[in-house]
Structure 1
Amino acid sequence: MQEPLVVLVRSIITFFTILLYARLVGKQLIGNFTMFDYINGITIGSIAATLATDLSSKALVHWIALTVFIVLTIILQFIGNKNRFLSKVQDSEPVVLMQNGMILEKNLSKVRITKDELMQQLRSKNIFSPVQVGIAILEPDGSVSVLPHSDYQPVQKRDFNLPGQPPQLTTELIVDGKIITQNLSQRKKDEDWLMEQLKKKGIHSLKEVSYAALLPNDLFYVDKFEDNITDKLNISDYKGPY
Structure 2
Amino acid sequence: MKVGIEVALQTLLAFFSILFITRILGRKQLSQLTVYEYINGITFGSIAGTLATDINQRTWQHLIGLLIFGILTYIISYICMVSTKAAQVIEGEAVLVIEDGKILEKNLQKFHYTSNDLNHLLRQKDIFDLKNVKYGILETTGEISIVKVAEQENVKVSDIGIIAKEEELQTEIIIMGGIIYENLKKRNISAKWLIGQLKAMGIKDIRDVFYASIDKDKQIYVDKMDDHLDSDLDIN
Band the TM-score falls in, shorter-chain normalisation: 0.5 to 0.7
| Corresponding residue for residue 78 of structure 1 | 78
| Corresponding residue for residue 128 of structure 1 | 128
CA distance in 2, matches of 1:13, 1:62: 11
Q: One-letter code of the match for 1:111?
A: F
1:151 aligns with 2:147: no
| Corresponding residue for residue 64 of structure 2 | 64
Number of aligned positions between the proteins: 159
Q: Please list the CA deviations of residues 143-181 of structure 1 after superposition, one character each: whole Å capped at 9, or x if unmatched.
A: 011111223123378xx8xxxxxxxxxxxxxxxxxxxxx
Unaligned runs of 5+ in 2: 161-236
CA distance in 2, matches of 1:29, 1:85: 24
> What do you get for the CA RMSD once the two structures are aligned?
1.8
- Note the C-alpha offset of 1:81: 1.8
| Corresponding residue for residue 53 of structure 1 | 53
- Note the C-alpha offset of 1:31: 2.1
Q: Please list the CA deviations of residues 13-51 of structure 1 after superposition, one character each: whole Å capped at 9, or x if unmatched.
A: 111111111111122233221001000000000110000
| Corresponding residue for residue 9 of structure 1 | 9
How high is the TM-score relative to the length of structure 2?
A: 0.64
CA distance in 2, matches of 1:88, 1:110: 13
CA distance in 2, matches of 1:59, 1:38: 26
CA distance in 2, matches of 1:145, 1:53: 42
- Runs (4+) of structure 1 exceeding 6 A deviation are none
SS at match of 2:146: strand
How high is the TM-score relative to the length of structure 1?
A: 0.62
1:95 aligns with 2:101: no
CA distance in 1, matches of 2:114, 2:77: 31
CA distance in 1, matches of 2:36, 2:67: 18
Sequence identity, in percent? 36
Q: One-letter code of the match for 1:153?
A: E
Unaligned runs of 5+ in 1: 161-242
| Corresponding residue for residue 22 of structure 1 | 22
| Corresponding residue for residue 174 of structure 1 | none
